[in-house]
């Protein structure tokens, strides 16, 4: 794990084409079934907002959100493996929810692997509740894994977790 020092601050900016190789590296370090470069580039060129989290100009994570009218979707929230365990996903999630609120989003949805207990705990801590289950949603080796569907209202209580 790369430890964050007291003087380092997590910063957020839009993802750019030149960031894709670093984003893919983080994605591969963090997930057993990472997003492909093609899917990431499709998000960059589409209606989604793609963000990176940086520490001293190093990309430590990325987040992808979309919205239609007053509903938002957290498509991806990833912190590179060597940066995990320092509360960065907590900070990034608050930033992304605040951004969606700026865009007029009132309700945020996401899917998370049932096996990703750390992420499920993070989302619950931030007020998300399970509203459904998508059977065999994610690839898992030669099998499939269910996704928990979660949602929460986006209101003034964003940073209260």
**How would you class 86 by CB atoms within 10 Å of its CB: exposed for 0-12, middle for 13-18, buried for 19 or more?**
middle
Instruction: With a cut of 80, say whether residue 157 has pLDDT above it.
Output: no
Task: Copy the structure tokens of residue 128.
Answer: 């998300």
pLDDT at residue 109, rounded to an integer:
98
| 56-80 pLDDT, tens digit each | 999 999 999 999 999 999 999 999 9
Q: Which of 123, 137, 138, 153 is catalytic?
A: 123
Task: Copy the structure tokens of residue 124.
Answer: 């619950």
| 2-33 pLDDT, tens digit each | 554 444 689 999 999 999 999 999 989 988 88
User: Is the pTM above the cut of 0.85?
Assistant: yes
For residues 143 and 78, what is the distance between their CA atoms, to the nearest angstrom? Answer: 23
Write down the CATH superfamily of domain 11-155: Gcn5-related N-acetyltransferase (GNAT) (3.40.630.30)
Residue 143, classed as helix, strand or coil, is: strand
Are 96 and 79 in contact by the 8 Å Cβ rule? The answer is no
Q: Which of 22, 71, 106, 111 is catalytic?
A: 111
For residues 7 and 5, what is the distance between their CA atoms, to the nearest angstrom? Answer: 5
Confirm whether 49 is a catalytic residue. Answer: no
Confirm whether 137 is a catalytic residue. Answer: no
How many of the other CB atoms lie within 10 Å of CB of 142? 5
Domain parsing of the chain, residue ranges? 11-155
């Amino acid at each position: 794990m790369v430890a964050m020092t007291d003087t380092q601050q997590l910063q957020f900016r839009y993802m750019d084409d030149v960031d894709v190789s670093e984003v893919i590296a983080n994605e591969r370090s963090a997930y057993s079934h990472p997003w492909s470069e093609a899917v990431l580039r499709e998000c960059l060129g589409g209606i989604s907002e793609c963000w990176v989290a940086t520490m001293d100009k190093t990309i430590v994570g990325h987040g992808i959100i979309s919205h239609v009218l007053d509903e938002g979707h957290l498509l991806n929230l990833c912190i590179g493996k060597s940066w995990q365990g320092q509360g960065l996903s907590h900070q990034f999630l608050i930033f992304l929810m605040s951004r969606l609120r700026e865009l007029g989003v009132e309700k945020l949805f996401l899917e998370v692997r049932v096996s990703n207990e750390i992420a499920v705990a993070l989302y619950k801590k931030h007020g998300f509740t399970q509203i459904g289950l998508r059977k065999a949603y994610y690839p898992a080796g030669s099998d499939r894994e269910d996704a928990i569907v979660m949602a929460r209202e986006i209101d003034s209580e964003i940073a209260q977790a």
